[in-house]
Every structure is written in structure tokens, then in C-alpha cells.
Amino acid sequence: MSILIDRNTRLLVQGITGRDGAFHTKMMKEYGTQVVAGVTPGKAGQEVEGVPVFDSVEQAVRATGADASIIFVPAQFAGDALLEAVFAGVKLVVCVTEGVPTLDAVRAIAVARSRGVRIVGPNCPGVISPGKAKVGIMPATAFKPGVVGVVSRSGTLTYEIAANTGEFGQSTVVGIGGDPVIGTSFIDCLKLFQDDPETRAIVIVGEIGGSDEERAAEFVKSYVTKPVFGFIAGQTAPPDKRMGHAGAIISAGSGTAAEKITAFKNAGIEVVYEPEELKDRLRTRL
């Protein structure tokens, strides 16, 4: 098993005729993902990498049975693209787009939750279940099938962490995004990994800023029985300086790496300070 996606996922690409949409459609298809449709208004009838293009998500879903979507559209249109996917009836929407206006994200995520649709992102690298499917922009060479579930606020650091799971590989890797408002949280993924029989251990990759990691630690303490490892990025970041993601800022004495590490330790999460440590730590627990 895996979480969120698998070999049966039928994916449509919103913004497929753009540079990024076309490139990652090719990469996802080559990985083995069933990319069944693309959507760009006004471009119906075209094909990209052998994938038919439709004018709307509703048309694409009706014609192909797509049940998941990935969004590669400019930030100012991403909120509408999210809502279009939600109203068309897909069950999973991955939003790669960076810089989505916060109110647009809030609105789309609220509507999605009311309809039972899961949004991953915005501003995220997506989801990969190694050997099964990839819905995102991750480099396939960083991953291999296995038993470690990884959930991360970071982008490229996710790939490094996954590569350091060693011989154990990954069941699913989820990049939830680092914006202040996102559709899928650490806790959402922790619950899915805990309930997934294929996943034997979990890695949380957090960042400075906010309190998501602290809430995740409390959830681990009360619900998760599998070994959990934690890494916090930005441990040397100065206060009040924004570091990469919109949510990665320490302010008013909250959101520091030290606070998050303490929360992890108090919850029984084994903290790693360098990605290279993870391989040996896993050997001792699995």
C-alpha cells in the first residue's frame, strides 16, 4: 500500500501546455504515473506528450475518469484552478504553484474540506510513492520503494532526507509546502502513515516558524506507535529573517528550532541533526 497515490491514480495536469506543465507531464509519465488528461482553457484538441488537452477540468474528468489533479498555473489563477478541480469532483489536488495569494488559498482549502477533497500545497513539490506513481516535481532518482514514510515542509531537503533512508527506502514521500496556509498538515500525513501497513517508520522534516511541528509532536505522543524521526531545518537562522518559505520566519520568540526540537524529544521523536544520521538511526529501530 501507500498513501494518497498509487498505480491506479488517474492524473490530470492543469496548465499542461505551459513550460513547467509540459516538462513535468513528461517526467511523471516516464515514471509510470497514469497521466490521462491535461487542461488549458482554449487549447482543447491539442496533445502534450500524447496526453489529450481539454478546456476545463469538468470535461477532462468526464472524458477520462481522472481522480487527481496537479496544478501548474500562474499564482494569480491558482485559486480558481484549485476550486475548478474541487468542483469537478477529483479527490486529490496537488498545487505546485508558488506565491498563491493567501486569501485565495484559504478559500479553496475551505471549500475542498467541505467537499471531502484533499489539497496538498500550495507551494509544494508534491507526492511520490516510489515505484508506483509520482504527482509532483521530485527527481525520481532520489527515491526507491520501501517502508519509510516522509512528510516535509521543505522542498529540496525532502529529496536529501529520502536519499538517506538507505536500504529501507520510502513508502510515500509528501511535500506539504511551507506556506502559512496549506491544505494538508503534518498531522494529516502522520495519521495516514500510522494507519498504512506498508509504512514501518516515519520521518518529519520541519522548519523554523509557526507551530505546526509542535502540534505534530503532540499528535505523535497520543496516536503514533511507529518509530518517528524528526529533522528541523533552519537551526542557525537569525530571528525576524525570512528563510525561504513564507512560513519559515521566527518572530515574537516563537517558532525557533530549539523549541521544535524540544517538542519532538518530549514526544519521543528521535531527533536527527544531519540527514546522513538517518541511515544508521533507522538500522537501530527497524
Beta-bridge mates of residue 204: 151, 230
Considering the chain, tell me which residue range(s) the CATH 3.40.50.261 domain(s) occupy.
138-285
Residues of the chain with pLDDT under 50: 236-237, 240, 242-243, 246-253
For residues 245 and 156, give the distance between their C-alpha atoms in angstroms, rounded to a whole number.
12
230 alpha carbon, distance to own chain's centre: 17
pLDDT in tens, 208-252: 888 899 999 999 999 999 999 999 986 544 554 544 554 444 444
Q: What is the pLDDT of residue 2?
A: 85
- The answer to whether 20 is a known ligand-binding residue is yes
Torsion angle of the four alpha carbons 122, 195, 172, 83, in this order, in degrees rounded to the nearest 10: -30
> Which residue is catalytic, options 118, 245, 260, 281?
245
Cell of 11: 492524473
The whole-model pTM stands at 0.93
- The answer to whether 285 is a known ligand-binding residue is no
Decide: 245 and 123 in contact? Cβ < 8 Å. Answer: yes
Angle at 98 between CA 244 and CA 273, to 5 degrees: 35
Q: What is the pLDDT of residue 208?
A: 85
- The answer to whether 207 is a known ligand-binding residue is no
Question: Does 24 participate in catalysis according to the annotation?
Answer: no
Give the CATH class of 138-285: alpha beta
- The answer to whether 111 is a known ligand-binding residue is no
Q: What is the pLDDT of residue 253?
A: 46
- Per CATH, the homologous superfamily of domain 10-120 is NAD(P)-binding Rossmann-like Domain (3.40.50.720)
Considering the chain, tell me which residue range(s) the CATH 3.40.50.720 domain(s) occupy.
10-120
- The answer to whether 43 is a known ligand-binding residue is yes
Of all residues in the chain, the percent with pLDDT exceeding 90 is 85
